[in-house]
Every structure is written in structure tokens, then in C-alpha cells.
Amino acid sequence: MAVGPFCVPPNPLLGCDPPCPPPRLSALPRSALCCLRPGAGAALRRAMAAALKPLVAVGQVTSTPDKEQNFAACAGLVREAAQRGACLVFLPEGFDYIGSNVAQTLSLAEGLDGALMRRYAELARDCGVWLSLGGFHERGQDWAATQRIYNCHVLLDSAGHLVAAYRKTHLCDVELEGRVSMKESSFTNPGPEIVAPVSTPAGKLGLSVCYDLRFPELSLALRRAGAEILTYPSAFTVYTGSAHWEVLLRARAIESQCYVVAAAQTGKNHEHRTSYGHSLVVDPWGSVVAQCHEGPGLCYAEIDLEFLHRIRREIPVQSHRRHDLYSTVELVP
């Protein structure tokens, strides 16, 4: 029998009996890909995948100091996203763990060549997806000398290769009396450079981490370098998140005319910390097109690059910017 514009199993291709007319590929749901038999439907599978816009998945987790528990939770989300047809899965800052104090945070850190990153590389290979791992506690090459870590956003391709590593350049030193107290610079080295956008199956991805969201100079630099998607894996507090999270993400999307993808920590990470959550995706017009509910989970969004480039043509702010003027303003005595 037929349902709407597509067929349901089984049939030589999509599986109706009697056979249906050839389906219009763009009208097929993404889930119809799983109905195709690996051999006989290979050509149709490729054609259908090409007709669909890239799907990204955004993870929301509650990391704790238990690294094994955290990996199991994140791996479950990655596998679920891969089954849904996502080509790129985003995990938040602190996906590896969130320590309850500085000493524990430093003691649990690993290098990029450590066991945990090898497990994520294997996960990417097994699932056939790219992974944006935002906010890995990295023991860098200078660990022995500094005893400080980097807050490192790691990008793995679907073969498990490390494609890019961006180390957070803006460290969160905030003191809101009686509400929020953070001094990331007391145990973290600031990253030395911005990383050029990376071509992924979903588009050109610009890497940032959490507090970087408050600095439009970074997002605009990535936009000038060709970014189509900006990502801000985060662990915002409830106090700052409820006030600033969505409005900052939408502002970054509007001013850069990029998709913005923000995976977030949610809930009680340990006795001293609760995270805001609200992982979301914003399109280049500034509309929230996907958002997670409370608690761990996933949200999904299609990346429509034709829509993105139409917005850039219709409101060409990039060509209107006056870089010849922005550095000429002087302080008035």
C-alpha cells in the first residue's frame, strides 16, 4: 500500500505490493532511507541522501565527575543520532566530565592521544558520523611545565580522524556576588589562535567554546574566513543562561548570517553546580529552529545552505562593513 508520496515495505525498492510509481526523492522522509535494502537499493539510497539537506544532531547531557558514565551517555546519543540520519553530532563543553573542584578537574584530564579520545574516534568510525566534541579537558604538551590544561574543542571526521582542535581563547573569569563565581584562568591556559573553518558534510564549521559566545569579534572573524555554521558548545550556569543564552546565540546568527549550533550541559552536574541546558540551533535569519527540552537528549535541524546564501545576497552586510573606520575611533580625554 502507499502512504502519501512514498511507499512502505516491502517491495523491490521501497517495498510496496503492488509496486508504486517512482517516488519524488525530495518528498521522502529521512527515515525512508532505512527501508532500502543494502544491495538492491544502493543507487536509490545515494540519490535520496543527495536530495536531502544535511541533518545535524545537538546533544544535551548532564556530565558528572564519572568519566565512564559520561561516555556511556554521550555514546548512546551519538548512536541514536546516527540511526536518525545525522551526519554531524554536537556534544557540549565538558562532555568528558565536569569536576567538583579544581584538583579533581586537573587530575581527570587527558591528552588528545589518550584513551578517551581514542574511544570517541572509534565511536565516530562505527557510527559513520562527524563529532564536534566541545570542551575537552586537554593536557597539552606543556602540561609538565604549567600543570594547567586547555579547554579544547575537538572535531573528528566519520573515519575517526582528528580534523581540528580549537583551544578556548576567552576564559571565563566572572564574579557575580552571591550568585556565580568562576575563574577558569586559574587552571586553564588560553588558546593561542583562532582555527579556520572546517569543511564538513553539513557546511563550513567555525569552532568556539562557551564564553567565546560573548565576543562577536570571534564570530565575525570566522564568518570572514568562510564559516557557514558557528558552534558554541557550552556549560552555562542557570543564572547567566536564563538571562543571556538565547539572545546571544540569536545575535551571533543574525550578525554573521550563519547557522549557530549550541550543545549544552543541563541539570545538576555535582553538588556545587547546576547547568542551564536549552541546547538549540538558530538559523541565519535568527529563528530558533530546534531546541532541547529539559534533561539529557537530542534535537535535530536540517542545514539549508541555499537559504543561508539567499539571506546573504538579500542583506549583504559583509560587503557593507566599514573596516576602514572601525579602528579609527579614539578615546576622548
pLDDT of residue 48: 59
CA distance 26 to 304: 13
Quickly list DSSP for 72-125: HHHHHHHHHHHHTT-SEEEE-TTSS---SSHHHHHHH-B-TTSHHHHHHHHHHH
Q: Which of 173-182, 208-217, 242-251, 323-332 has the lowest mean pLDDT?
A: 173-182
Q: Which of 162, 104, 108, 111 is nearest to 133 (CA)?
A: 162
Query: pLDDT band at residue 328, thresholds of 50, 70 and 90?
Result: confident
Q: Which of 280, 206, 215, 192 is nearest to 241 (CA)?
A: 280
CA distance 291 to 275: 16
Neighbours of 193 (CB within 10 A): 8
pTM: 0.85
Instruction: Answer for the pair 76, 46: CB distance below 8 angstroms, yes or no.
Output: no
Q: What is the mean pLDDT of the chain?
A: 87
pLDDT of residue 64: 97
CA 27 to chain centre: 27
Say which residue, 105 or 177, is predicted with more confidence. Answer: 105
| 101 contact partners, CB below 8 Å, separation of at least 6 | 272
β-pairing verdict for 273-276 and 264-270? antiparallel
What are the tens digits of pLDDT across the range 90-144?
A: 999 999 999 999 999 999 999 999 999 999 999 999 999 999 999 999 999 999 9
Pick the CATH number of 54-315 from 3.40.50.300, 3.30.460.80, 3.40.50.12280, 3.60.110.10: 3.60.110.10
pLDDT of residue 176: 81
Instruction: Answer for the pair 162, 155: CB distance below 8 angstroms, yes or no.
Output: yes
Residues with catalytic roles: 93, 168, 210
Of the CA atoms within 13 Å of residue 151, those in its CB half-sphere come to 30
What are the tens digits of pLDDT across the range 292-312?
A: 988 999 999 999 999 999 999
What are the tens digits of pLDDT across the range 49-83?
A: 556 899 999 999 999 999 999 999 999 999 999 99
| 254 contact partners, CB below 8 Å, separation of at least 6 | 284, 285, 286
pLDDT of residue 172: 87
Local structure of 156: helix, strand or coil: strand
Instruction: Answer for the pair 252, 216: CB distance below 8 angstroms, yes or no.
Output: yes
Residue 267 has pLDDT above 90, yes or no: yes
Domain boundaries, the chain: 54-315
CA distance 225 to 182: 32
